[in-house]
């Protein structure tokens, strides 16, 4: 009581020290965030208005204002990459969410063996993306890959998975979904743990079947987990790079080219960091727009 | 109490920041700065080599122990992919003192690197070419009379073939001297249920590089004398039509699949580079030179394209003189001869035409011939973007996404905008 009195003024307003203390405590975090996030973002924004080429140095670069952005939107390969990325993100997130949710519900319903299944399902997610890409490249090799050999054994048609415009996009999508379903599963499985058994019992007493329990008990209870999961997967999928770079290089005929792959080919490889920065800013804005729905929901 | 706690936390943070940020305030001067004079010091000088991964860098690594012992140096080697090698050398270039001493450079980067002072002028440091080096391979290494690079690994496009499948088609390797022969073999092999001709897919650079020999055979080129694009020409179209016709008798694959398919007899022909595969007398595949004529009535042209891996010294190398000594050591004829067993392909007559070598690796005579008449890719700073654009458009045509006219017109206009 005595201590409280010493930290407040006679009017009851917080004492200066009481106001300063929390600010002092969050200051290091703010500083770190400013250095690691705001600083690079601001510099990327500034560079995006210049013709900065890394080898020529900053001294030789000059402000060209919106030329990089105009060039970007006039570039047919960039527009194709944007469309591919949006299409890939929507399909991947939908598939990952649906499959991850179904697996989570299934594992959650198991009476025995939950721990073993949980561990096994998580394995693909633990592998680095590069390892995943190389393993799949070997398995799907049109020459010595096990997948084509199995298809041939059963008399089914074989494909040149990564070099054919009909299959390349779908194959990369399948690999990405395979690797990231466990992440969705893990988050949703954790959400399911928090759903009270009493709610299911009450639903059963009211005569609800399995499907009704899923839609009226399970889904409303894990909707926040679903929203968070969709947000994280959207942001992550939008940045897809390693798998595309290793497996297809953006080909065939640009059908798997993503924004990051485009920026790598036309901005990073040619060291045109001004142009690359403009692409990065556009990409950040697109991610923000796509994920704004989830962010708004999370803030609520 | 809270104030005291805050004060303590602030002090701890300040101390940790000082501790984390407090590196060495004085730079250690590399012992090897004075070249070979370091050989007497106790601590070996550390040198860093940045090389292309695979056979190209492996043969250099195998030669290093003798140099390390003689000069009291310890070499650290970075093996990198094509793109990573380019990026790392470039990113290191603006630093006043760089991290790398000796670097491996693809000929297509030469214009960009010399225009931006990435490489040391070797002539100024006393290096010169000897007469044993195949002259044409040095073209890309010089700016005027100044040498910036030395041709180390004789990579040049050659035709990889399966011995049995071309024999089944009624050909001996030395009989394949026209593009009509290639088509004939591909058609016969395809009719027999195998793949006739393989082309490389993936990046734009792969597609463009593998197509260039065909374009040269048809008398075309990708740029004119003013380095303006010439990809929508009758010669380009004719060459591309022939290339697509060959592709339709085979398939598109990545490098590893091409080598495996030809080696195991699933495909008859495919363009390759000597670094991909080391044939022996009893191997099922081998190399032959890319045909120089379209048919028997045509006049021969230079159709082999260089992908020579050169070595140079970084301008900001911490051990510049020592790096030049290492470069001279690696370019020594005897040292280069020793690399052949490891898959090396020196750009030297004395190595490639050595009788003992030819008895063991007869394909090197083919490679020597190709190196004498090879053509380098255009020396333009924008070559990486050029191949991205052209490769993507060519891939669209190959895959049937665009018509030939549309694809080449789009490529031409995009390249004109790039080089404007």
Number of domains, chain B: 2
Q: Let me know whether B136 and B220 are in one domain.
A: no
Q: Is A28 on the interface with B (CB under 8 A)?
A: yes
Q: A76-130 pLDDT, tens per residue?
A: 899 999 999 999 999 999 999 999 999 999 999 888 888 899 899 999 999 999 9
Residues B312, B148 contacting (CB under 8 angstroms): yes
Asked whether residue B406 is assigned to any structural domain, the reply reads yes
* Window 13-32 of B, Cβ < 8 Å to A: 13
Burial class (CB in 10 A: 0-12, 13-18, 19+), B298: middle
Q: Let me know whether B82 and B139 are in one domain.
A: yes
* CA-only gyration radius of chain A, Å: 25
Q: Let me know whether B264 and B404 are in one domain.
A: yes
Q: Let me know whether B298 and B390 are in one domain.
A: yes
Q: Let me know whether B324 and B395 are in one domain.
A: no
Model ipTM value = 0.79
Asked whether residue B319 is assigned to any structural domain, the reply reads yes
Q: B108-155 pLDDT, tens per residue?
A: 888 889 989 999 999 999 999 999 999 999 988 999 999 999 999 988
Q: Let me know whether B139 and B162 are in one domain.
A: no
Distance CA B136, CA B255 (A): 27
What ranges in B266-420 are assigned the alpha helix state H?
A: 320-330, 333-338, 349-352, 355-360, 363-372, 383-398, 404-419
User: Residue A16 above 80 pLDDT?
Assistant: no
Q: Let me know whether B296 and B356 are in one domain.
A: no
Here the CATH number for the domain that contains residue B192 is 3.40.190.10
Q: Let me know whether B174 and B56 are in one domain.
A: no
Asked whether residue B35 is assigned to any structural domain, the reply reads no
Please provide the CATH number assigned to the domain covering A68-299.
1.10.3720.10
Are A55 and B116 within 8 A, CB to CB? yes
Q: Let me know whether B294 and B180 are in one domain.
A: yes
Q: Residue B253 is nearest to which of A28, A163, A254, comparing CB atoms?
A: A163
Residue B83 has a pLDDT of 87
Mean pLDDT confidence for B247-262: 91
Q: Residue A54 is nearest to which of B91, B202, B398, comparing CB atoms?
A: B91
Residues B333, B403 contacting (CB under 8 angstroms): no
Q: B381-402 pLDDT, tens per residue?
A: 888 889 999 999 999 999 999 9
Are B252 and A160 within 8 A, CB to CB? yes
Asked whether residue B9 is assigned to any structural domain, the reply reads no
What residues does each domain of chain A span? 2-40, 68-299
Q: Is A24 on the interface with B (CB under 8 A)?
A: yes
Q: Which residues contact B299 (CB under 8 A, 6 or more apart)?
A: B293
Instruction: Collapse the DSSP code of A8 into the 3-class scheme (helix H, G, I; strand E, B; otherwise coil) and give the result.
Output: strand
Q: B165-176 pLDDT, tens per residue?
A: 999 999 998 889
Q: Is B388 on the interface with A (CB under 8 A)?
A: yes
Residue range of the domain that includes B113: 44-155+307-372
Q: By CA distance, what is A80's nearest residue in B?
A: B392
Q: Let me know whether B322 and B246 are in one domain.
A: no
Its pTM surpasses 0.90: no
Q: Residue B260 is nearest to which of A144, A162, A271, comparing CB atoms?
A: A144
Residue A296 has a pLDDT of 73
Q: Let me know whether B400 and B411 are in one domain.
A: yes
Q: A27-82 pLDDT, tens per residue?
A: 999 999 888 888 889 999 999 999 999 988 888 889 999 999 999 999 989 999 99
Mean pLDDT, all residues of chain A: 89
Q: Let me know whether B260 and B234 are in one domain.
A: yes
Asked whether residue B257 is assigned to any structural domain, the reply reads yes
Probe site for chain B from A265, A266, A272, A275 (most B CB atoms < 10 A): A265
Asked whether residue B367 is assigned to any structural domain, the reply reads yes
């Amino acid at each position: 009581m005595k201590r409280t009195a010493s930290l407040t003024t006679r009017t009851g307003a917080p004492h200066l020290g009481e106001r300063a203390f929390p600010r002092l405590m969050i200051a290091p975090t703010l500083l770190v965030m400013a250095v690691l996030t705001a600083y690079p973002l601001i510099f990327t924004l500034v560079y995006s208005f210049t013709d900065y080429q890394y080898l020529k140095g900053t001294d030789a670069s000059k402000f060209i204002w919106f030329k990089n952005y105009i060039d970007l939107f006039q570039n047919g390969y960039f527009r194709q990459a944007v469309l591919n990325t949006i299409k890939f993100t929507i399909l991947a997130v939908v598939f990952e969410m649906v499959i991850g949710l179904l697996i989570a519900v299934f594992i959650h319903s198991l009476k025995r063996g939950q721990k073993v299944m949980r561990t096994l399902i998580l394995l693909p997610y633990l592998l680095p993306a590069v390892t995943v890409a190389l393993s799949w490249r070997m398995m799907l090799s049109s020459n010595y890959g096990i997948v084509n050999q199995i298809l041939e054994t059963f008399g089914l048609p074989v494909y040149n998975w990564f070099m054919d415009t009909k299959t390349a996009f779908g194959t990369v999508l399948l690999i990405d979904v395979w690797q990231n379903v466990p992440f969705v599963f893990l988050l949703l499985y954790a959400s399911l743990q928090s759903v009270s058994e009493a709610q299911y019992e009450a639903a059963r007493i009211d005569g609800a079947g399995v499907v009704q329990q899923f839609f009226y008990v399970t889904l409303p209870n894990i909707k926040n987990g679903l929203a968070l999961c969709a947000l994280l997967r959207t942001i992550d999928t939008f940045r897809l790079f390693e798998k595309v770079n290793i497996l297809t290089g953006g080909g065939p005929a640009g059908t798997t080219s993503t924004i990051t792959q485009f920026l790598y080919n036309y901005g990073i490889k040619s060291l045109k960091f001004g142009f690359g920065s403009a692409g990065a800013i556009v990409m950040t804005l697109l991610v923000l727009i796509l994920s704004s729905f989830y962010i708004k929901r999370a803030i609520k | 109490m809270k104030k005291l706690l805050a004060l303590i936390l602030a002090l701890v943070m300040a101390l940790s920041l000082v501790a984390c940020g407090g590196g060495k305030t004085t730079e250690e001067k590399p012992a090897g700065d004075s070249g070979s004079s370091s050989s007497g010091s106790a601590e070996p000088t550390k040198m860093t080599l940045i090389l292309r991964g695979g056979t190209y860098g492996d043969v250099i690594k195998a030669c290093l122990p003798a140099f390390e012992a003689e000069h009291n140096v310890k070499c650290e080697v970075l093996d990198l992919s094509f793109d990573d090698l380019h990026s790392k050398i470039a990113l290191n270039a603006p630093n006043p003192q760089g991290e790398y001493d000796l670097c491996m450079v693809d000929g297509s980067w030469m214009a960009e690197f010399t225009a931006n002072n990435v490489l040391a002028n070797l002539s100024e440091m006393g290096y010169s070419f000897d007469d044993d080096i195949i002259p044409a391979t040095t073209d890309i290494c010089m700016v005027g009379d100044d040498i910036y690079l030395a041709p180390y690994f004789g990579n040049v496009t050659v035709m990889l073939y399966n011995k049995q499948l071309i024999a089944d088609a009624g050909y001996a390797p030395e009989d394949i001297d026209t593009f009509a022969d290639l088509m004939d073999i591909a058609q016969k092999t395809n009719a027999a249920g195998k793949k006739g001709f393989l082309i490389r897919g993936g990046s734009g650079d792969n597609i463009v590089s593998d197509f260039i020999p065909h374009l040269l055979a048809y008398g075309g080129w990708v740029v004119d004398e003013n380095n303006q694009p010439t990809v929508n020409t009758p010669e380009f179209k004719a060459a591309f039509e022939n290339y697509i016709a060959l592709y339709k008798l085979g398939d598109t694959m990545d490098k590893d699949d091409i080598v495996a398919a030809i080696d195991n007899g699933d495909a008859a022909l495919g363009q390759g580079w000597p670094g991909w595969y080391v044939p022996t007398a009893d191997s099922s595949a081998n190399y032959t030179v890319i045909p120089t004529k379209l048919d028997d009535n045509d006049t021969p042209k230079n159709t082999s394209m260089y992908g020579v891996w050169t070595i140079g010294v970084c301008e900001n190398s911490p051990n510049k003189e020592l790096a030049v000594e290492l470069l001279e050591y690696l370019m020594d004829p005897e040292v280069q001869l020793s690399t052949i067993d490891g898959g090396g392909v020196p750009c030297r007559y004395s190595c490639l035409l050595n009788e003992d070598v030819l008895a063991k690796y007869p394909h090197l005579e083919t490679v020597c011939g190709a190196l004498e008449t090879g053509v380098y890719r255009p020396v333009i700073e924008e070559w990486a973007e050029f191949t991205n654009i052209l490769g993507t458009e060519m891939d669209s045509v190959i895959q049937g996404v665009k018509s030939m006219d549309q694809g080449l017109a789009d490529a031409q206009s995009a390249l004109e905008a790039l080089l404007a």
